[in-house]
A and B are shown apart, each in its own frame.
Chain A
Amino acid sequence: MREFEVVSPYARLVRVLLGGWAALVYLFLFAPIILLVLFSFNANKYGTFPFTGWTGHWYGQVFGDYQIKDALYTTLRVAAEVTAISTVVGTAAAFPLVRSRLPFRSAVRIGMTLPIMIPGLLIGVSLLVLLTSTFHLQLSEQTAVIGQSVYTTPFVVLLVAARLQGFDPALERAAADLGAGTVRRLRHVVLPLIMPAIFAGALFAFTLSLDEFIITLFLIGAHNTLPIYIYTQVKFGITPEVNALASLLLAASLILIGVAFTLPILVRRVRRLVRA
């Protein structure tokens, strides 16, 4: 693309300007997050400027707070259930979506991704009405699990379907020619091949559940997940303790997503090494 510089005298200027723009964009994206983490180590008890010194005190407070511990356990329980449900339901749905002679395939596909497209607010209030007024259920962790699963399952469907679409059908035909039945083909050929995608989907679902706010707000009733707890605290203003808790939650999601993204690549590399 070097040739453009010869063509236009402004090309270099444009290039520098756009590069500067990109730098500003990265600053815009990461400054709030970096400041949040910085303030969580700030000795200043207002949780903002000026920076008066480093401390791990706020993290100590987070780990000692029984309300936070309670919210953490609720969050993990909900996330585990949501992950189990959306992994099973999503993987099961990905097969017919890719492999059957489905009429209106693209409509079904769009329908399945609709829960991602429409605002979570609508999922939250509509489920609230259904569960409490029609089914007469008490709001609980389980109602929050249902709501979150509606939102996380499409992600698993998309990931697993992409992997199913991607792998060579000849592999399965070869297994069939060698006499493997449906169950054995599934167990020894298909599942090992799509396992990384299923695992990545599970991690995505777990992370999304961990961070989910709006659907949970409507459906969890009197309980607290960590995001709901933070929300109730934020109403009283910023505190360094919430900054510390927020930083921990950020770190947890980033680590999980990092694993979800790199795991399939790692698995492929290891397999190649083993084969070689």
Chain B
Amino acid sequence: MSETATTAPAAVRGRSRLRGLSFLAQYTGFLPALVLFGVFFALPLGLIVAYSFWETIDYNVVHHWTVDNYHYFFSVPTYIHTMWATIWVSVAATAATIGVAFPFTYWLVRYVRRGALQRLLLVLVILPFWTSYLLRVYSWLNILGDGGAINRFLQWTHITDHPLSFFLYDRPAVILVLVYLYFPFAVLTLYASLERFDWDQFKAAMDLGATPRTAIVRILLPQIRPGITTAVIFVFIPILGEYLAPQLVGGARGVMIGNLIVNFFQGAQYTRGAAAALLIAALIVVLLALFRRSLEVEDPYRA
């Protein structure tokens, strides 16, 4: 009797200690990630924020709080021009990517029978994403450049005598390559939302007299709008910080903010570079905050 009376509380105490331990054990897994992301991701980003408000005097960073770096950025017409050019290129490339990806994904979901074939066709689209980013840009040099496939072909067939530089070193080339780079992102997100759409609603709408166009505009589009927004975000954000595509195929007219940032940092103008970097980061954060809702709709861990 007394034995049970003493052992019971001990067991309870043991269990509560265990629970305390398991509470700790629950979260220890986060520790390495906390160090990695805390020290080498969050901290440097914080530092960039601080740098953008500090001064560089004689190549030394002085901890004087100032908005001079931003002031400087907006006082140079070339930089402002580059910023608008970046936004313009990002918007155009995003629109083109979605414009190419939507009809494609629609075809894939609606006209290809669900199963192995549809999966295979989807995997083929994503495949280039898993190859080197540098090589995907580089592969276009083979096609667009002065000595590239198009020019060589034109000369070979005597359509023109000297290489046309029209294909390369300008914004259209940048946009083309950007569409190529981010196309898989767009298809994946559009596929996720189109695939869930119940096509019987389509049939119902048409039974009630809707034309296919009305059915698409009034039934399909409103339901997959979150998917389209997600696709836009996933394409637009990385393009804002693009460096390599404009560097390799953009020429002087294709320069984007990413190239500007790199130039600042390579020229040891850390504080000015930080301000330019923060302008992009701020734009991204604002966009993410605005569209947080539509990004949260999907649970990435759904089995």
Q: Which residues of A contact B (CB under 8 A)?
A: 1, 3-4, 7-8, 10-11, 14-15, 18-19, 21-22, 25-26, 28-33, 35-36, 39, 46-50, 85, 88-90, 92-101, 106, 109-115, 117-123, 125-130, 133-134, 146-147, 149-150, 153, 157-158, 161-162, 165-166, 182, 207, 210-214, 218, 227, 230-231, 234, 237-238, 242-243, 246, 249-250, 253-254, 257, 261
Contacts and interface: CB of A to CB of B under 8 A. Distances in A.
A250 B131 contact: yes
A127 B281 contact: no
Contacts of B152: 46, 48-50
Interface of B: 25-33, 36-37, 40-41, 43-45, 47-48, 51, 61, 100, 103-104, 106-108, 110-111, 123-125, 127-128, 130-136, 138-143, 145, 147-149, 152-153, 156, 180, 183, 199, 202-203, 206, 211-212, 237-238, 240-244, 248, 258, 261-262, 265, 270, 273-274, 277, 280-281, 284, 288, 295-296, 300-303
Given A117-B237, A122-B241, A246-B138, A33 B32 contact: no
A196 to B, nearest CB: 14
Contacts of B48: 122, 125-126, 129
B271 to A, nearest CB: 10
Nearest to A254: B131
B277 A213 contact: no
A96 B30 contact: yes
Q: Is the interface of B mostly helix, strand, loop or mixed?
A: helix
A48 B148 contact: yes
Q: Is the interface of A mostly helix, strand, loop or mixed?
A: helix
Nearest to A114: B41
Given A32-B143, A93-B32, A93-B33, A230 B303 contact: no
A230 to B, nearest CB: 6
A213 B132 CA distance: 8
Contacts of B136: 32-33
A125 B14 CA distance: 51
Contacts of A243: 142
25 contacts: A8-B206, A22-B108, A26-B124, A29-B125, A33-B131, A35-B149, A48-B145, A85-B36, A92-B28, A96-B26, A106-B296, A117-B288, A118-B237, A119-B238, A121-B243, A125-B262, A126-B48, A162-B300, A212-B133, A234-B138, A237-B147, A238-B147, A246-B132, A246-B139, A261-B123
A123 B41 contact: yes
B222 to A, nearest CB: 20
Nearest to B259: A121
Contacts of B284: 117-119
B280 A119 contact: yes
Contacts of A8: 206, 211-212
B31 to A, nearest CB: 8
B134 A122 contact: no
Contact of B40 (A29, A88, A146, A161): A146
